[in-house]
Structure 1
Amino acid sequence: GEADRYAGKWTALMIGPGIFSLVIALFYFLPYLETRKKGLARSQGLYFACWAALLLVFIATHAAVLAAAFDVPLPTDRMIMGAIGLMFVMIGDQLGKSRSMYMIGIRTPWTLASEEVWIKTHRLGGKLMMLGGLAVVALAIFGVAGIALTVTLIAAAAVITLVPVVYSYLSWRREDGQESNG
């Protein structure tokens, strides 16, 4: 369909900061909901990385919206995709250092059941996030845009998601088998 109307420039200017203000409030209150407080306390770097990475993506997206609203020619697709790639790098750098919690992380039944499986899975997941993020950032920097950049981002997200889930199950099975046979 066709758009009936577009938001005004002032709406475009204020929507991003408004949404991010809500995200800041959410990040302030989320720790009160975490039941594994020790895991969260030992994962402050990851918690901050998630907050900072989301801020980066919001800033890039808001800059793209403002550029469009004020007719400033910017490579907005590359800006946003590059910011998402940096988000992967920032979170991936801290993911392997995190400890078991319900709020943030690769939360499968197997990682939540075993601290050792959590650690192994998050170390692998962190490395994959960093590699996938670096690939997306590199393509964005070197001018790759459109479908190639989108496919790279989707492929990276798929690998970052699926490989650690399968790995967590296999690690848990291996650990469970050792305990049963030991």
Structure 2
Amino acid sequence: MLFANLVIAATMAGFGLWVADGLDQGAELPIHWNLAGEADGYAPAVTALLWPAGLSALIGALFAAIPRMEPLQERLEASAPLLRSVWIGTMLLMIFLQIMIAAPALGWPLGPNLLQVGLGALLVLIGNSLPKSRPSFFVGIRTPWTLADTDNWIATHRLGGKVMMGAGGLIIAAGLLPVPANWRASAFMALLGVAVVVPVFYSWWLWQRRSKT
């Protein structure tokens, strides 16, 4: 995985340099968009095009290091599908981000709201793998209650996977449908909040219910 990640990062760097070479000196490209989908941050073309490649390589190194830092080594293999899904999804998101940045330079009519589609797809990918994980300090929904009880972990991740996949699907729909930008931004934040808060609350509720029995 690390080798593949580094090859992808090198390919992204080559693509970025190729795009930048075709632009006028001093040209700038967007690197940040607000919740309404409007570009509100710019950087010199080379910097804008190369930073996703550099971030991809850095994230790859971090994911490669996680198995060596995990204290629960005996349970690590059970969480490998989730770790791989998050790693692959993050690499794809970095590729998508670089394409979004390069789109104006190449004349590609990609709306900035499509970045939301990529984030929604990442949530779906992660949600699909959540139920396959087991207690880990670096991967999964890590609350004091899930880490202390394997049954709590399993139940929370089953629910969390469904919630995250549902939220991701709705985020993708919001990014593709012709809805006002402020509605799209509100839907994104609300759904992301649901995907995060519901599993955490559920793990606490399970712990409370068990502690009273």
> TM-score interval w.r.t. the shorter chain?
0.7 to 0.9
Distance across 2 between alignment mates of 1:27 and 1:111: 22
Q: CA deviation at 1:116?
A: 0.4
Partner residue in 2 for 1:140: 175
Aligned amino acid, residue 7 of structure 1: A
- Percent identical among aligned pairs is 36
1:128 matched residue in structure 2: 163
Q: Distance in 2 between matches of 1:90 and 1:58?
A: 15
Offset at residue 143 of structure 1 (A): 3.7
Task: State the shift of 1:18 in Å.
Answer: 1.1
* Kept in 1: contact 2:79–2:139 (CA 8 A): no
Q: Report the number of matched residues.
A: 173
Superposition TM-score, scaled by structure 2 size: 0.76
Contact 1:111 1:168 in 2 (8 A): yes
Higher helix share: 1
Aligned with 2:69 (options 33, 51, 58): 33
Equivalent residues of 1:81, 1:149 under 8 A apart: no
Shifted more, 8-17 versus 110-119: the winner is 8-17
**What is the aligned-residue RMSD (CA, Å)?**
1.7
Q: CA deviation at 1:69?
A: 4.3
Gaps of 5+ in 2: 1-40
Contact kept? 1:12, 1:69, Cα under 8 Å: no
User: 2:124 maps to which residue?
Assistant: 89
Question: For the Cα contact (< 8 Å) 2:70–2:137, is it kept in 1?
Answer: yes
Letter of the structure 2 residue corresponding to residue 152 of structure 1: A
- Higher normalized strand content (fraction of residues): 2
Length-normalised TM-score, structure 1: 0.88
Question: What residue is the counterpart of 2:104 in the other structure?
Answer: 68
